Amino acid sequence: MLLDDFYLIHPSIQPDVIDYLHRLFRGTDFYLKVGTVRHRTTLVRHDGRTIGVELYQDVEELDLDQTFEDVDRTEDYLRRMLDSMAERVNLSNLSSWIFNPEGLLQLTLASGGVPRDFLTIFVEALDVARARGETRWLTPKVIYKGAGRISYRTKLTNLHEDVGSDAGQLERVFQDLLTYCLKERGKTAFLISQDEVAEYPHEHEIIKQLMDFKLLHVVEADTSAASGRKGRYEAYTLDFALFMEPRLRGLEHVEFWKFDADRRKKGTREAPVYLLARAQAAAYSDQHLSIEDVVADIENTVGVEPDELSG
């Protein structure tokens, strides 16, 4: 049996549902497979007795996410997926000739590592290339244009539909992150201090949920920071749809997929630290701006590259 979108069940009764299904199928020849979102899922509840299932005791976890912690591996996975699909229509080694040298990497970044978005942007980029008469191969520029059609607005719509009444706090923290990174600090990545995680678990969970909805992407789960900042940090990047098309002026694009002489990801240790205390203030604020209002304000403040808007 396959149960998809388990996270849409209210978290308070998720343990009861999975407990019932586990008991129903236990001892039979059937397999139960549950598809869900990690940080919107509660598998167990302890209230005098254990209700639900324990990971690695009752059930096993299979992580299907492709993340930016290892961009090369994610790019290779998506490349092999595309080539395998192309083989079915007699197009051999499609990825080796349809992209220019940077095209496949930029498509990987634009998709956030999500296979569905990778394929959708790929198709959109083909349409852009044909319309522009650029039919030799897919370049980063046409990929940016294609990605612009599959924007963060789609992901926000999914967030509202999937999360419902809980979307307000997630959206307000996301708005604050956009303002902090793009407007105040001019960088596309940020750090979160691991020392703050225990003090602000709810706000940290909001960051993780924004990551589940692919509005943020983890770059490194454990890193140090430059400029003498002590402690350990988590490093994230904003989703590329927010700054690829149109191109915002004056931004430092943190190129975490590249490495310095010490084999450290370029730019991540220099990224600004976003305080979870600030996230808490944003989550409980009475702000009623839309994401579109915040993005428009950022574009008006920093400006956009005219060549990217024109063609």
| The pLDDT of residue 238 | 93
Q: How much is the average pLDDT of 173-201?
A: 94
Residues in a beta bridge with 46: 50
Nearest to 11 by CA among 43, 46, 33: 43
Distance CA 88, CA 67 (A): 27
Count of beta carbons in the 10 Å neighbourhood of residue 52: 19
Residue 73 has pLDDT above 90, yes or no: yes
Query: Distance between CA 293 and CA 77 in Å, rounded?
Result: 36
Q: What three-state secondary structure class fits 99? A: strand
Backbone φ/ψ region at 122: left (φ over 0), alpha (ψ -120 to 50), beta: alpha
3-class SS of residue 158: helix
Confirm if 126 and 138 have CB atoms less than 8 A apart.
yes
Cα 154 to Cα 111: distance, rounded to the nearest angstrom: 13
In this prediction the pTM is: 0.84
| Residue matched to tokens 């010490």 | 262
223-262 confidence digits (pLDDT tens): 999 988 999 999 999 998 777 755 667 788 899 999 988 8
92-140 pLDDT, tens digit per residue, is 999 999 999 899 999 999 999 989 889 999 999 999 999 988 888 999 8
Distance, CA of 82 to CA of 109 (rounded, Å): 15
pLDDT of 309 > 50? The answer is: no
Quote the CA–CA distance of 6 and 58 in Å, as a whole number: 17
How far apart are alpha carbons 136 and 100 in whole angstroms? 9
Whether 272 shows a pLDDT value over 90: the answer reads yes
Beta carbons within 10 angstroms of residue 2's beta carbon: 8
Q: Identify the helix (H) or strand (E) that includes residue 45.
A: strand 44-46
Would you call the peptide bond into 246 cis, given omega within 30 degrees of 0 as the criterion? yes
The confidence score (pLDDT) of residue 310 equals 42
Angle of CA points 83, 140, 270, to nearest 5°: 110
Domain ranges of the chain: 2-52, 68-149, 164-310
Amino acid at 196: E
- Tokens for 23, please give them: 């008991």
Q: Say which CATH topology domain 68-149 has.
A: Helicase, Ruva Protein; domain 3 (1.10.8)
Q: What is the DSSP letter of 181?
A: I
> What pLDDT does residue 168 have?
86
Q: How confident is the model at residue 304 (pLDDT cuts 50, 70, 90)?
A: low
Distance CA 311, CA 244 (A): 14
d(CA 140, CA 305) in angstroms, rounded, equals: 15
Q: What share of the chain is helix, strand, coil (3-state, %, to 5)?
A: 50, 15, 35
What CA–CA distance (Å, rounded) separates 212 from 84?
27
